[in-house]
Each structure stands twice: as structure tokens, then as C-alpha cells.
């Protein structure tokens, strides 16, 4: 007869979906495939996605991360633009310098770019709901003529907004915002500017929405809600906020096991776990293993949606085979 465990008991609620979305997976594949096809180095303008583990893994494979195109030498090697998107001036500079570039902008971010440009084409001033300084916001604003877009971060910004023509406005949003916060801002915009035109489809991406809904479903009664992700990941930070609003006693953004606040967890505690869209599953696996070392764990799965989206890489890389071991640094195989 098996002996009873003397470890304290703990319930782990694991959110599904969590972690990588199709846009992040595509961006990482582009860098890996470029390294296979062209050899090292492959330059990447800004972090390909906001996750240190991913960036370090790609750096170990031969990627060189730079802040601007001016840091890329004319050595014939390719440069990849990050999943967050870039202003129009960036590919224009690359073309002027005859650089080989690969645009890993998430297709859903590109969709927001097109929606914003359509507003301008139809004579509307664009109101962009987003966070100042975020690479995606910089990229979206950089698609538009100077003076044709205004950034709104909060309902207070809406109160202060005084456009030249309140009858000619259209809005889009950053793809990684809190759904609940964005609803409030958009409602305030629509109340103040009844003629405001919405984009043709939802700007907040499916992955952001799905992860937030799973977190809401898992939060009630959780003593601790861990969100695996990077401090500069907008969608990960929003998940922490959603968790605490939905009932988690403590929400915490962690990059790995070392940041787990073990001292606040006692016998019978409930911990929920999710991961931002740029956090690889290998980090979640390591956290679950750490809990199993310390506790007798009862694992619960909280699933609110299934994701089957797949965004193919550009045609120039499709003839380069991607093997399981090529992605071992993020999926733990190999």
C-alpha cells in the first residue's frame, strides 16, 4: 500500500488557451528559417517577441538583435522586422539601402494597419486606442500621414480629446489591450463622438481575448494567479490585471520559477497559471514541475476556447524545412 505524501496539498488551475499565439509562432519560425536558409548572423530589429527566453534562444542560434536599421551592416545578411510591426519608414529605409528584409509583423497587426489606413482614405482622423511607446503603437502610427492620428490611452484622454472635425473620426485599437478596459474607452468615444466610425472588424486579436477569458474563468478563489511572461509584454501585463479584477487574491507576472512567491502559499492553497502570447510552454512546464517538488498537486484544466489558427511564413522561406529540433529551445524537445 502506497504511503500518503507528507507534502502540503495544492490545487493548480491551468488555463487553456495560454502561451504562444499563431502570430508569435510565425515570427519565431521566420527567424529560425532565415538562419537555416541564409546562415548566421540574421539581424532582428527590436525583440522579435517580448520574451527574454525566446530572444536569448534565438541569439544562441546566431540572431543579432539591433534597435534600428542603422545598426545593421551592409554584409548581405537579412534583417527581420518584429511581430509588433514597424512604421512605413523602416522598410522604405531597408529598400533604399538594398537590404534583404523579412517582415514578421503579425497578420492581425497588419490588419489593424489596413483598417487605420482605410479610415484615412475615407477622410477620417484616426483615434488609436493603445499604450504610448509600445512598438505596436509606434508601428501603427507610422503607417499614417503626420497629423492624421491621435493616441488615446484612457477615458480621461477621451474627455480631453478635441478633434478638428468631430464628424470625421474613425478608431482602431492595439491588439493586446485589456478587452474590458477597451470597451470602456470605446464607449466613452462613441458617447462623445456619435459619428465615430468603427473598424471593419475587431482590432483586439483572438489570442488576447481568449487568454483573458480563460483567466477570468480560473481566477475566482485563487490565492495566487501566476502569469508567465515578460515585464515588457503588454498582453501579459493585462492578464495580471484581469486575474485580480476577476477575483484572484494576488496576481503576479513571472518570467520563471525563481520569481514565484512561495512564502504566501500554504497547505490547501489554490494557484492558477496562464502565460502571455509570447511565453513558451517550456517555462510553464518548469513552473508546474517546481510546484510538484514542493506540494502534492491536484491539477485542474480550465479551458474556454480552442485555437487552431496557423499563419504561414512568407513564400521565400517555405522551401526551407523546419524540423522539430529547430524549435527545441522553445518547446523543450530535442
Residue partners of 168: CB distance under 8 A and separation at least 6 = 123, 124, 125, 195
Q: For residue 273, give the nearest of 288, 258, 293 by alpha carbon.
A: 288
CA atoms of 297 and 128, how far apart (whole Å): 44
Q: Residue 56: CB partners within 8 Å, gap ≥ 6? A: none
**Beta strand 9-16 pairing with 149-152:** unpaired
Of 105, 53, 84, nearest to 275 by C-alpha is 53
- Buried b / exposed e over 202-232, threshold 16 CB at 10 Å, is bbbbbbbebbbbbbbbbbeebbbbbbbbbee
Q: With beta carbons less than 8 A apart as the criterion, state whether 334 and 324 touch.
A: yes
pLDDT per residue, tens digit, the chain (334 aa), is 445 678 999 999 999 999 999 999 999 999 999 999 999 999 999 999 989 999 999 999 999 999 999 999 999 999 999 999 999 999 999 999 999 999 999 999 999 999 999 999 999 999 999 999 999 999 999 999 999 999 999 999 999 999 999 999 999 999 988 888 899 999 999 999 999 999 988 888 999 999 999 999 999 999 999 999 999 999 999 999 999 999 999 999 999 999 999 999 999 999 999 999 999 999 999 999 999 999 999 999 999 999 999 999 999 999 988 877 878 777 754 3
C-beta separation of 110 from 116 below 8 A = no
Helix ranges (H only) for the chain are: 22-38, 52-61, 89-96, 107-121, 135-141, 155-160, 179-192, 206-219, 234-245, 281-294, 328-331
* Cα separations in angstroms, 157 against 124, 177, 181, 270: 19, 16, 13, 38
How many other CB atoms sit within 10 Å of the CB of residue 201? 9
List Cα–Cα distances, 325 to 38, 54, 73, 232, 306, in angstroms.
Answer: 18, 15, 30, 28, 26
Catalytic member of 68, 136, 153, 309? 136
Any catalytic annotation for residue 136? yes
All three cell numbers of 36, joined, read: 537555416
Contact 139, 84 (CB under 8 A): yes
Asked if residues 244 and 178 have their Cβ atoms less than 8 Å apart, the reply is no
Three cell numbers, residue 119: 479610415
Task: Indicate the Cα dihedral angle 292, 294, 297, 300, nearest 10°.
Answer: -70
Amino acid at each position: 500500500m502506497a504511503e500518503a505524501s507528507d507534502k502540503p496539498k495544492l490545487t493548480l488551475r491551468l488555463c487553456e488557451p495560454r502561451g504562444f499565439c499563431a502570430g508569435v509562432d510565425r515570427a519565431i519560425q521566420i527567424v529560425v528559417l532565415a538562419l537555416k536558409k541564409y546562415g548566421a548572423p540574421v539581424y532582428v530589429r527590436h525583440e522579435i517577441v517580448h520574451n527574454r527566453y525566446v530572444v536569448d534562444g534565438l541569439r544562441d542560434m546566431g540572431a543579432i538583435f539591433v534597435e534600428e536599421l542603422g545598426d545593421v551592416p551592409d554584409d548581405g545578411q537579412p534583417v527581420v522586422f518584429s511581430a509588433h510591426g514597424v512604421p512605413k519608414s523602416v522598410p522604405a529605409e531597408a529598400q533604399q539601402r538594398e537590404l534583404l528584409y523579412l517582415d514578421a509583423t503579425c497578420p492581425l497587426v497588419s490588419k489593424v494597419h489596413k483598417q487605420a489606413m482605410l479610415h484615412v482614405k475615407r477622410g477620417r482622423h484616426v483615434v488609436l486606442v493603445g499604450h504610448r511607446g509600445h512598438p505596436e503603437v509606434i508601428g501603427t502610427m507610422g503607417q499614417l500621414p503626420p497629423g492624421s492620428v491621435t493616441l488615446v490611452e484612457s477615458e480621461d484622454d477621451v474627455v480631453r480629446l478635441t478633434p478638428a472635425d468631430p464628424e470625421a473620426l474613425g478608431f482602431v485599437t492595439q491588439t493586446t489591450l485589456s478587452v474590458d478596459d477597451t470597451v470602456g474607452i470605446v464607449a466613452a468615444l462613441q458617447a462623445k463622438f456619435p459619428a465615430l466610425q468603427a473598424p471593419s472588424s475587431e482590432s483586439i486579436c483572438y489570442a488576447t481575448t481568449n487568454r483573458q477569458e480563460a483567466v477570468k474563468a480560473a481566477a475566482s478563489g485563487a490565492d495566487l494567479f501566476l502569469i508567465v511572461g515578460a515585464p515588457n509584454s503588454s498582453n501579459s501585463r493585462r492578464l495580471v490585471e484581469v486575474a485580480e479584477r476577476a477575483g484572484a487574491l494576488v496576481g503576479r507576472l513571472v518570467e520563471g520559477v525563481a520569481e514565484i512567491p512561495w512564502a504566501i502559499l500554504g497547505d490547501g492553497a489554490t494557484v492558477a497559471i496562464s502565460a502571455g502570447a509570447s511565453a513558451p510552454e517550456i517555462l510553464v512546464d518548469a513552473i508546474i514541475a517546481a510546484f510538484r517538488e514542493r506540494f502534492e498537486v491536484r491539477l485542474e484544466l480550465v479551458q474556454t476556447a480552442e485555437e487552431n489558427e496557423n499563419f504561414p511564413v512568407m513564400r521565400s522561406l517555405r522551401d526551407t524545412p523546419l524540423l522539430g529540433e529547430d524549435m527545441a529551445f522553445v518547446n523543450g524537445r530535442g
